[in-house]
Amino acid sequence: MSAPEARNDVSAGDSLDHDMHSGWGSAYTNRSTVGDKETLSLWQEYAIDKAAVDRKYQLLLHEYTDLFYKVFNGYYPISMHAHATDSINPTTIASLILNTAATSPLVLDSESLRPKADEKPEETGMRVRDFALNFLGWNETHVLAPTFVVADNIYGAGYGPLAHASKEWETSAIAAGPKPIVVNMREADEETLNAQFAEAKMKGAIAVLFDMVSTEDGLVFTPEKFGLVKACCARNRLLLIVDETMTAMRCGAPFAFQRSEYARQGAEFQPDFVIFGKGIGVSGIAISFGGVMTKGLTYTRSEDILQTIRYWRALVSRPIRTPNLLEALSILRASVAENWPEQSERIGEVIRDVLHELEPSTKESGAIQGLGAVIAIDRDIALRHRVMCAIRRRSPWARLLPKLGSISADRDALMKQVFGKESKSQRQALSQEAERCGAIPLWCFICGIEATSEDWCRTCYLSYCNNEVCVAAFHRHACV
Ligand SMILES: [Zn+2]
Ligand SMILES: [Zn+2]
């Protein structure tokens, strides 16, 4: 493969292009993250002697867990999954919190509760389970048919129970499992919210789930509302789960709710669980032991914490494969070295400025939504400037999810390589590269799913899928 040759045309590494879809936000950088010394040597070793690297597996997993804890200020990556949607299944969350309660110091340090060698295993099981249900305020309904309370503007995942809440019919039509309880969290006052949470809890809700920036319209969860939801969760003994799949690293803090204006609200408790996504190399659930519910489990010693994590991870053969682990480690290291959270704030400001200049109408309040480097704009504006976005067919909003390298905050580079007429040469270089290897632009320019058309635009480096709405809209685009 003659990679160095290709690099002359489409400058690799710190380059910019009009792909602000970024795999639904799962690509944080165009730069290779495997280049840091520690990881590169492991990759090289892995290519020659896989078993030798596999023998370091636990060591690497501990290193990853420690680094994640530091980067995300006290959150542990306890549960790993192939896709974020797999991790926000109510039954998975229910099992996870039951395990966390059953292996907590409240049980293991208690003379009367802890497992005894001389009793029947069923008796231990019943006793520990009864304790956990009592602690969580659960009955059989919560165990057998657990569900979530979700904000009414949540994206409704891709499939499974949460898909019921989706506004896209393709998603809601394939929803399965108990319906989540949808609550309008933006407008409800404390009294209403409390009443709704209490009723939901009675019906089997175990947790409240929302995202800080709506995937629907880019609206941001306000700090006041965040504090209120936290308080209502605590009062009704509901777990608080924040989905940061899209917002981690991109919104001016490691997790968006760690921005100072949120951190100040109800600082006594954290969200119990955070859903993280593929951008950081693996998807899964991170846990805080200072959460609305988890705090009461009195995990203070790190050996107790690592033990419960170990118990949970032991339920699967290997929580994360070695190559993924190496990649996840190097992504976290890059996030520290390049300070992505801080960078994202600057990138967001510069891109908003560019949009104000190109489209003065975006200066009106509410015309641009989002937070930091999650930027939601009118889809027509995105189409007019030929930017590939994380977009859905029927949503009037397009989301720009730029890469977090410093070049994304370079106003000139943004004009020359993304938004302006001058981006023509960059687009053509990308087209030539694609033609050489038989590839096409990744995403449908109109609806954001995988592009399929061979008849894509070589001038703009844009393609489309075979949906007739997309075909028609694509052919209306004006070339650069
Ligand atoms: Zn399409
Ligand atoms: Zn074109």
Q: 246 and 110, same structural domain?
A: yes
Q: Is the torsion defined by CA of 121, 122, 123, 124 positive or negative?
A: positive
- Using the structure block, give the residue that is written with the tokens 């805080």: 288
Give one DSSP letter per residue of 70-111, joined into a string.
HHTTS-EEEEEESSHHHHT-HHHHHHHHHHHHHTSHHHHT-T
Q: Which of 332, 352, 385 is the last residue of a domain?
A: 332
Range among 69-78, 270-279, 466-475 with highest mean pLDDT value: 69-78
Asked whether residue 31 is domain-assigned, the answer is no
pLDDT tens-digit series, residues 376-431: 999 999 999 999 999 887 789 999 999 999 999 999 999 999 998 999 999 999 99
CA 447 to ligand 2 centroid distance, Å? 16
CA 15 to ligand 2 centroid distance, Å? 21
Q: 317 and 183, same structural domain?
A: yes
Residues with CB under 5 A from ligand 2 (ion): 457, 459-460, 479
CA 19 to ligand 2 centroid distance, Å? 14
CA 330 to ligand 2 centroid distance, Å? 37
Q: 170 and 91, same structural domain?
A: yes
Q: 116 and 220, same structural domain?
A: yes
Provide the domain limits for residue 258.
Answer: 45-332
Residue 6 has pLDDT above 80, yes or no: no
Asked whether residue 368 is domain-assigned, the answer is yes
Confidence of residue 11 (pLDDT cuts 50, 70, 90): very low
- Output the pLDDT for position 33: 80
Q: Which ligand lies nearest the alpha carbon of 456?
A: 2
Q: 356 and 318, same structural domain?
A: no
CA 251 to ligand 2 centroid distance, Å? 32
No. of H helices and E strands in the chain? 21, 12
CA 377 to ligand 2 centroid distance, Å? 21
- Output the pLDDT for position 10: 41
Residue 7 has pLDDT above 60, yes or no: no
Q: 416 and 320, same structural domain?
A: no
At residue 432's C-alpha, the angle toward residues 427 and 437, to 5°, is 130
Q: 424 and 295, same structural domain?
A: no
CA 384 to ligand 1 centroid distance, Å? 16
Q: Is the torsion defined by CA of 292, 294, 296, 301 positive or negative?
A: negative
Helix (H) or strand (E) holding 133: helix 121-136
Please report, for the domain that includes residue 116, its CATH number: 3.40.640.10
Low-confidence winner among 69-73, 313-317, 429-433 (lowest mean pLDDT): 313-317
